Amino acid sequence: MKHISKSVWILSLISLFTDTASEMLYPIMPIYLKSIGFTVLLIGILEGFAEAIAGLSKGYFGKRSDNSGKRVPFVQLGYAFSAISKPMMAMFIYPLWIFFARTIDRLGKGIRTGARDALLSDEATPQTKAKVFGFHRSMDTLGAVLGPALALLYLYYYPEDYKTLFFIAFVPGLFAIIASFYLKEKKQEIKIKKKTSFFSFLNYWKQSPSSYRKLAIGLLAFTLFNSSDVFLLLKAKDAGLDDTSIIGVYIFYNLIYALFAFPIGILADKIGLKKVFIFGLSLFAIVYFGMATNTNLYVFFGLFFLYGVYAAATEGISKAWISNICDKKDTATAIGTFSAFQSICTMLASALAGFIWFTFGASIIFIVTGIATLIIIIYLMYSVRHSIPNK
């Protein structure tokens, strides 16, 4: 575990606890909302609004973190917001309150993302970035295995007792808050305080290195075609998998992701982030082409195995790549700005996928996504350089 510092361990444990809490509720969230009177349309509006808040706030708070020269307060506040939002969802069932609680959760993600990733970047050298980010993703995704498993176990003994799960989810969230107080702020250069408007992070796009913009364009183009994992699960459902198998496949995917993220990060530091990232996109294309035609249960598990390896080869790697390209003093802003645009593209991707699915059928969306991914691979191969050490 060389190069994994105490701060990286703490940040990884915080993410593990937080993701356990969030993923405990992920499978039952739509069911719970329906049980308290939310329509499918209202659920869609709620999730879209909450994700928009999370996306835009990532850029703003990333910029605030860089301007202030502080990381830890943003991390602590962000994880605290996400933790307290869990029991809030169960305390009252009024639509406005639910909107408020869900927004608090997503705002917490926006507050912490840029500062947390900058902290991770500061704990690594350009030669160990993928390893550090990969380790963090492994721990984070382990929570996506534990969370649904704990939810299934609880609901097995207490069927349909969804409300209690929201209070139970506060426990790992509380552990995350406690762990965050063990983080230590590194000494930063004294900064000149700058006024930061909500959209001031957008200026970074013009000021950023051309290599950052080229990489971001490629990553965002991919995001536009990378719709929600829900569509993969729906395709498996349409092919005849029962509900238990669907949840089992989802847990299996997250387990593979968690197991592979760290070793793939180590590999990326040795052979190059760009090579590993393109390998991950190639697996993604294979999975989507396979999903277009497959109806076999065992093949679905094989495809979700490849999908887990794809995620391990891209999620942490992309942030390590960005942090190596940008100037060190702008790390939170660079990652926050990218994450803000990424959130918007993610929303558009799911809307586009839903439209194509409804209009042309499920297979077409997977074929279109696979073809688009191949084009993006070619773009990244010939238009984007390997990462260069940040200053």
User: Which amino acid does the sequence have at 172?
Assistant: P
- How many domains are there within the chain? 1
Residue 336 has which token pair?
């926050």
Residues 298/299/300/301 CA torsion (nearest 10 deg): 60
Distance CA 276, CA 280 (A): 6
Task: Identify the CATH number of the domain in which residue 27 sits.
Answer: 1.20.1250.20
Whether the Cβ atoms of residue 332 and residue 117 lie closer than 8 Å to each other: yes
* DSSP H or E segment with residue 259: helix 243-271
Rounded to the nearest 5°, which phi and psi values hold at 184? -115, 135
Q: Does residue 190 fall inside a structural domain?
A: no
Q: For residue 191, is it within any domain?
A: no
**Integer angstrom CA distances of residue 380 from 207, 348, 385, 386:** 21, 22, 8, 10
The predicted-structure confidence for 35-48, as pLDDT tens digits, reads as follows 888 876 677 677 77
Q: Is the dihedral of CA 186, 190, 196, 201 positive or negative?
A: negative
What pLDDT, in 10s, does the model give residues 278-311?
Answer: 999 999 999 999 998 887 878 888 999 999 999 9
**Tell me, what's the pLDDT at 87?**
94
Tell whether 103 is covered by a domain: yes
* pLDDT attached to residue 86: 93
- Render the burial of 32-48: b for 16+ CB within 10 Å, e for the rest: bbeeeebeeeeeeebbe
Q: Is residue 199 in a domain?
A: no
**Nearest Cα residue to 373 out of 266, 278, 254, 238:** 278
Write down the pLDDT at residue 34: 80
Task: Please check whether residue 164 lies inside any domain of the structure.
Answer: yes
Residue 390 is assigned to a structural domain of this protein:
no
Angle made by CA atoms 143, 164, 12, in degrees to the nearest 5: 20
Determine the residue type at 391: K
Asked whether residue 208 is assigned to any structural domain, the reply reads yes
**What is the span of the domain harbouring residue 220?**
6-183+204-383
Q: Tens-of-pLDDT digits for all 391 residues of the chain?
A: 677 899 999 999 999 999 999 988 877 787 788 888 887 667 767 777 777 788 788 888 888 888 888 899 999 999 999 999 999 988 888 888 988 998 899 899 999 999 999 999 989 888 899 999 999 999 999 998 999 889 888 888 888 888 899 999 999 999 999 999 999 887 665 455 556 666 667 788 888 888 999 999 999 999 989 877 878 877 887 777 776 777 788 889 999 999 999 999 999 999 999 999 999 999 999 999 999 888 787 888 899 999 999 999 998 899 999 988 888 888 888 888 888 888 888 878 877 888 888 888 878 989 999 999 999 999 999 887 655 444 4
Q: Is residue 194 part of a domain?
A: no
Q: Which two tokens stand for residue 75?
A: 């991390």
Q: Is 325 in a helix, a strand, or coil?
A: helix
